[in-house]
């Protein structure tokens, strides 16, 4: 119920291509879905996030598509660049109130490599 | 985005000693802070959740006496690894969140116990 399943584990894309990473969840109480980018030896950085009342959100080259009925959401990176090579994590959380507010459940991560 | 500062970024300690890691939210007040552990090429594993002025809530399997968490103010939480052993070597990351904003992460601390 608490799991977030992420795929693929690794992804290789040519420069200028579109990178697509998918996540699926079970818990319908989740109401916040962020994506994080992590470079080796660094903490995750918040890229973009969406709430379930919106089906798509775009920020620059990054777009989240959200399908509430299918309980799936995905990250699209347009015009992928070598500098985008990193590990990407999807996550989900819900407002359980009290001490659990904002507790994130992470996907397994996707290692993205963008070739020049 | 909001800034979370974690210190130190790297620490090497001898087996049996204790190490303290600090996590500060620099430009917002964090009602909740989270501590994660991450093994190479793996996802983040939540260790504990801390709220200012109250005891931390530990995830199942995390030893509360080994990983002491103190959340003394709305901008500071500390994780102390007590009596560290080589198997405690890992990448530790804190996260801070406040209502109305997302969760932001520190830069992580690479702990090596020798």
Residue B40 pLDDT > 70, yes or no?
Answer: yes
The alpha-carbon radius of gyration of chain A (Å, integer) is 14
Q: For chain B, what percent of residues have pLDDT higher than 90?
A: 73
- Residue A45 to residue A31: CA distance in whole angstroms: 20
**Is residue B13 a contact partner of residue B111, using CB atoms and an 8 Å limit?**
yes
Q: How far is residue B91 from each of residues A54, A89, B7, B24, B66, measured CA to CA in Å?
A: 35, 16, 12, 17, 16
Between A and B, how many CB-CB pairs are < 8 A? 61
Tell me whether residues B104 and A46 touch, CB distance under 8 A.
yes
Q: Is B68 on the interface with A (CB under 8 A)?
A: no
Residue B102 pLDDT > 80, yes or no?
Answer: no
Identify the closest residue of chain A to B100 by CA–CA distance. Answer: A102
Q: Could you give the strand order of the β-sheet that contains A4-7, starting from the edge strand earlier in sequence?
A: A4-7, A19-25, A72-77, A62-67, A56-59
Q: Is B86 on the interface with A (CB under 8 A)?
A: no
Q: Is B41 on the interface with A (CB under 8 A)?
A: yes
Label residue A102 by pLDDT band (50, 70, 90).
Answer: confident
CA distance A51 to chain B (A): 11
Instruction: Quote the mean pLDDT of chain B.
Output: 92
Identify the closest residue of chain B to A99 by CA–CA distance. Answer: B51
Q: Is A45 on the interface with B (CB under 8 A)?
A: yes
- pLDDT of A110: 98
- pLDDT of B54: 82
- pLDDT of B97: 85
Residue A99 pLDDT > 90, yes or no?
Answer: no
Strands B44-51 and B4-7: unpaired
* A80, two tokens: 């992928």
**Is residue B109 a contact partner of residue B92, using CB atoms and an 8 Å limit?**
yes
Identify the closest residue of chain B to A32 by CA–CA distance. Answer: B102
List, for residues A69-82, the tens digit of each pLDDT value.
Answer: 999 999 999 999 99
Q: Is B42 on the interface with A (CB under 8 A)?
A: yes
- pLDDT of A101: 58
Q: Count CB neighbours of A102 within 10 A.
A: 24
Region A82-87: mean pLDDT is: 98
Residues of A in contact with B49 (CB under 8 A): 99-100, 103
List, for residues A1-57, the tens digit of each pLDDT value.
Answer: 568 999 999 999 999 999 999 999 999 889 889 999 999 999 999 999 998 899 999
Label residue B72 by pLDDT band (50, 70, 90).
Answer: confident
Torsion sign, CA atoms A40, A44, A47, A48: positive
**Is residue B86 a contact partner of residue B114, using CB atoms and an 8 Å limit?**
yes
Q: Is A15 on the interface with B (CB under 8 A)?
A: no
Residues of A in contact with B6 (CB under 8 A): 43
Label residue B105 by pLDDT band (50, 70, 90).
Answer: very high
Residue A100 pLDDT > 60, yes or no?
Answer: no
Tell me whether residues B105 and A107 touch, CB distance under 8 A.
no
Tell me whether residues A107 and B103 touch, CB distance under 8 A.
no
Label residue B55 by pLDDT band (50, 70, 90).
Answer: confident
- In SS3 terms, A47-87 reads as EEEECCCCCEEEECCEEEEEECCCCEEEEEECCCCHHHCEE
Measure the CA dihedral B78/B79/B83/B89, to 10°.
-130
DSSP, residue by residue, B9-33: SEEEE-TT--EEEEEEESSS--SEE
Tell me whether residues B46 and A36 touch, CB distance under 8 A.
no
Region B63-84: mean pLDDT is: 93
């Amino acid at each position: 119920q608490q799991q977030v399943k992420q795929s693929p584990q690794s992804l290789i894309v040519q420069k200028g291509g579109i990178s697509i990473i998918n996540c699926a969840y079970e818990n319908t109480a989740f109401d916040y879905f962020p994506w994080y980018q992590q470079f080796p030896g660094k903490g995750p950085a918040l890229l973009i996030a969406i709430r379930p009342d919106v089906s798509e959100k775009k920020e620059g080259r990054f777009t989240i598509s959200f399908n509430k009925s299918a309980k799936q959401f995905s990250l699209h990176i347009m015009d992928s660049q070598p500098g985008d090579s990193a590990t990407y994590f999807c996550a989900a959380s819900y407002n359980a109130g009290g001490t659990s507010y904002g507790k994130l459940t992470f996907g397994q991560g996707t290692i993205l490599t963008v070739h020049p | 985005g909001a800034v979370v500062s974690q210190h130190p970024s790297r620490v090497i300690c001898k087996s049996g000693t204790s190490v303290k890691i600090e996590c500060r939210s620099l430009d917002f007040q964090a009602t909740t802070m989270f501590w994660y552990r991450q093994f190479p090429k793996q996802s983040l594993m939540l260790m504990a959740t801390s709220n200012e002025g109250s005891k931390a809530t530990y995830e199942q399997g995390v030893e509360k006496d080994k990983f002491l968490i103190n959340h003394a103010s709305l901008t500071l939480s500390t994780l102390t690894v007590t009596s560290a052993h080589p198997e405690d070597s890992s990448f530790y990351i804190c996260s801070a969140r406040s209502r109305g904003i997302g969760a932001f992460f520190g830069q992580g601390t690479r702990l090596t116990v020798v």
